[in-house]
Amino acid sequence: MLNDAEKENLRKQLEGELVTPGDAAYDEARRIFNVMIDRHPAAIVRCAAASDVVAAVQFAREHDLRVSIKGAGHNVSGNAICDNGVMIDNSRPPSKHP
């Protein structure tokens, strides 16, 4: 699991939202179409800009974490979510425009 300083460091780099275990939005954010998949990422980056994807990948690399990508969340095998890694969530439309 990530410590508070690591989470805050990532949060400061994002235009979007960081959701982690214990957050009220965590269970909803990790849900995908196939409800039989019950994985628990260490961090979910809800991207609002391309720079959020870059920050999430760099963070995962620096902390030796797996990465998964959630597009629409409809992949039956559950590849959109990983245990104890960083889930990059691109399923929501961006809220900010350049």
pTM score of the predicted model: 0.90
**What CATH number does residue 27 fall under?**
3.30.43.10
Whole-angstrom distance, CA of residue 86 vs CA of residue 63: 10
User: What pLDDT, on the 0 to 100 scale, is given for residue 92?
Assistant: 76
State the residue range of the domain holding 58. Answer: 4-89
Is residue 97 in a domain?
Answer: no
Is residue 98 in a domain?
Answer: no
User: What pLDDT, on the 0 to 100 scale, is given for residue 97?
Assistant: 47
Total domain count for the chain? 1
Whether 43 contacts 10, CB under 8 Å: yes
User: What pLDDT, on the 0 to 100 scale, is given for residue 88?
Assistant: 97
Task: Give DSSP secondary structure letters for 18-41.
Answer: EE-TTSTTHHHHT--S-TT-----
User: What pLDDT, on the 0 to 100 scale, is given for residue 62?
Assistant: 96
Segments in the chain below pLDDT 70: 73, 93-98
